[in-house]
Structure 1
Amino acid sequence: MRILLLALLLACWPPAILAQAAQDPAPLEFADGAEEARFRALVAELRCVMCQNQSLADSNAQIAHDLRREVLTLMRDGMSDAQVRQHLVERYGEFVLYRPRLGAQTWLLWFGPALVLLAGGVVVARIVRRRAQGRPVPPDDSQEW
């Protein structure tokens, strides 16, 4: 039993040593402070396509390192911030933007919370009106006790 446990431990040990957070092999170098400020503002608005809820600036995933390099390269190629965003949207979809644009595919994302709140308000108003008029509120048959 001890030998089996030791063999299992030794088999798992090398991958555990190799499992480290991805590190950027060479840090980004900026031409000046304005370029760095523009870069930082732009990557803060973009979402890491792997991490899902981290900005490109905050993520340590390898793809985030690659995308940061790509953003800097696109900036240096003369693209505006809007063009860089559009390039990434074409490549990865609207998901890459923290603030997706209002469109046919994203209207529910923008207006869904207001619609849910409005529907909840209507339901509460109907219940309050029924109780004020003295009529009993019908029991909810969907719950099972």
Structure 2
Amino acid sequence: MNPREARISEDAVSAIDYMSRLIGAIEDGNWYYAADKLGQLNRTLTRLEVELDRKDLSAAGPPVAAYVAEHSQRCRLGRALYGQPTVTCTHDQPSVSETCGDCGCCTEGACGGPNPECPTNYLGDSTCPCTCD
């Protein structure tokens, strides 16, 4: 992935994240937080627009689309667009593959909620028995 593709990818994922947070804030009636996320979304979309208008460096769609699909699944809208990431859990059964939301192993990363079987409750920690594919 070249630098332009990386910037487009990261801004697209950020836009999905901020829009997800904005929707949650609206549902909660938290107007201060909604305004904050709207400002962040606006700045991200402005950066993305500038990057998309550049002509000095090419950018291919497939690597950008793959990055966005993979990295936006942690966000509410990303999951709606691309589905749940998969997770493999080794704590209760020997390697059961299911969606991260159903797993409930970890509180961070792509997984859902705390599970007493997970020693760290943090996906990606070397002692956590869960890995997302």
Q: Which has the higher contact order (CA 8 A, sep 6+)?
A: 2
Name which one, 1 or 2, has greater alpha-carbon Rg. Answer: 1
Larger fraction in strand: 2
Q: TM-score, normalised by structure 1?
A: 0.27
Q: TM-score, normalised by structure 2?
A: 0.28
Bigger proportion of residues as helix: 1
